[in-house]
């Protein structure tokens, strides 16, 4: 795979990470994806190929509940998504996950999602 763009680089890193990271029923994978305007988080059981829980800034229920300063494209919005995904996971009985940063640097919005999820009760 030849790297021509930043997204090619990210995908290559993501594929390299996914060789080692896998979600099981006992410990599913928390995958985070960020675009310029939104952020998405999913808790995935890779053994069965199922998304167990998801949250994103596109959802009308979360979009309306965000503070005025919080949007999908900033750290405040990322913190809201981290808290929401942790609450939904705990409701489903999931307390331990494996964090998958999807090839993004552990910095900024990705880190904000992880910290907020940990603070809300998820273990990883």
pLDDT in tens, 77-94: 999 999 999 999 999 999
What is the average pLDDT score of the chain?
Answer: 94
57 within 8 A of 113, measured Cβ to Cβ = no
What pLDDT is stored for residue 66 in this prediction?
80
What pLDDT is stored for residue 70 in this prediction?
83
71 within 8 A of 57, measured Cβ to Cβ = yes
What pLDDT is stored for residue 115 in this prediction?
98
Domains and CATH numbers, the chain: 6-119 (3.30.420.100)
Residue with tokens 């229920």: 61
Give 40-72 pLDDT, tens digit per residue. Answer: 999 999 999 999 999 999 999 888 778 787 888
What pLDDT is stored for residue 38 in this prediction?
94
Three-state SS across 100-114? ECCCCCCCCHHHHHH
45 within 8 A of 24, measured Cβ to Cβ = yes
């Amino acid at each position: 795979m030849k790297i021509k763009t930043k997204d090619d680089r990210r995908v290559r890193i993501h594929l390299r990470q996914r060789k080692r990271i896998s979600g099981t029923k006992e410990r599913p994978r928390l995958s985070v994806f960020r675009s310029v305007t939104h952020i998405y988080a999913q808790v995935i059981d890779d053994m069965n190929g199922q998304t167990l829980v998801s949250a994103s800034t596109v959802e009308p229920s979360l979009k309306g509940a965000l503070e005025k300063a919080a949007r999908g494209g900033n750290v405040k919005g990322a913190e809201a998504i981290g808290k929401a995904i942790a609450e939904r996971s705990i409701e489903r009985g999931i307390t331990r996950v494996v964090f998958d940063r999807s090839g993004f640097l552990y910095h900024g919005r990705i880190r904000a999602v992880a910290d907020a999820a940990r603070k809300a009760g998820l273990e990883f």
